[in-house]
Amino acid sequence: MAAANHPSAKNALIVGASRGLGLGLVETFLARGWRVTATQRNASPGLAALKSEALTIETADIDDDAAVSGLHDRLASQTFDLVFVVAGVATQAHDPLHAVPRQVAAQVYLTNAISPVRFAETFRDRLAPGGSLVFMSSILGSVGLNTSGGWENYRASKAALNTLVRSFAIRHQAEALSVVLMHPGWVRTEMGGAEADIDVATSVGGMADVIEARLGQPGTMYLDYRGETLAW
């Protein structure tokens, strides 16, 4: 019996998996014997190419409450050991804040900070006992570590994500949720660019190690892909 068909195989829901780090995480968890439900906004050639019986592909835009609710309904029979909200945008990230049109800046905040936490609120009831909820943050979301500036609006959106996730976990503290805000490293993806430090395989392998090692541990941690704790 293939590992992923085994009744004890773990289940992951990876949100924003059409390409980049999300797609890499899907490949990695499948290779580790997990069953994976992966979401895309539009048909993803990368996901379609994986052709694994352990992979289910769903479609949802995290900014669309009706789409997220529809996804929640379609996955009604399932619980997940890992819910990982990976989706994020970096629109006009290189421009100083005053050069980013208000609507563009607000949309980055909606996608990177508001929508992931709203998604978690909707899917909280689908987290299996002993499971973890992981959000893709960034070291750029650290207020304390911001000594170099740049990426102003993106930084603020990830700092907001960190703050909103901590508030979410405190609001649900009776459930002792296992929550991670993850920094994947600076990674060579469309967002990270060709000059970034590490490749997708290094980042997603590290993140999967960190997640598997602390699956279900209560508390809210801000960690990088090597398991190092970051300053808020």
Ligand X SMILES: NC(=O)c1ccc[n+]([C@@H]2O[C@H](COP(=O)([O-])OP(=O)(O)OC[C@H]3O[C@@H](n4cnc5c(N)ncnc54)[C@H](OP(=O)(O)O)[C@@H]3O)[C@@H](O)[C@H]2O)c1
The binding site for ligand X (CB under 6 A) comprises 16, 18-22, 41-42, 61-63, 86-89, 111, 136, 138, 183-184, 186-187, 189-192, 196
Least distance to ligand X, CB of residue 16, Å:
4
CB atoms within 10 A of CB 197: 11
Q: Give the residue with the Cβ less far from ligand X, 11 or 157.
A: 157
Least distance to ligand X, CB of residue 114, Å:
11
CB atoms within 10 A of CB 41: 15
Least distance to ligand X, CB of residue 144, Å:
17
Contact 58, 74 (CB under 8 A): yes
Contact 184, 207 (CB under 8 A): yes
Burial of 152 by CB count in 10 Å (0-12 exposed, 13-18 middle, 19+ buried)? buried
Q: Give the residue with the Cβ less far from ligand X, 70 or 216.
A: 70
Least distance to ligand X, CB of residue 85, Å:
8
Least distance to ligand X, CB of residue 99, Å:
20
Q: Is 178 helix (H, G, I), strand (E, B) or coil?
A: strand
Strands (E) in the chain, as ranges, are 11-15, 35-40, 55-59, 80-85, 127-136, 178-183, 219-224
- Rounded to an integer, what distance in angstroms lies between the CA atom of residue 223 and that of residue 137? 9
Least distance to ligand X, CB of residue 21, Å:
4
In degrees and rounded to multiples of 5, residue 56 shows phi and psi of -115, 130
- Which of 192, 193, 186, 196 has its CA nearest to residue 225? 186
Amino acid symbol at 77: S
Q: Give the residue with the Cβ less far from ligand X, 127 or 136.
A: 136
Q: Give the residue with the Cβ less far from ligand X, 3 or 221.
A: 221
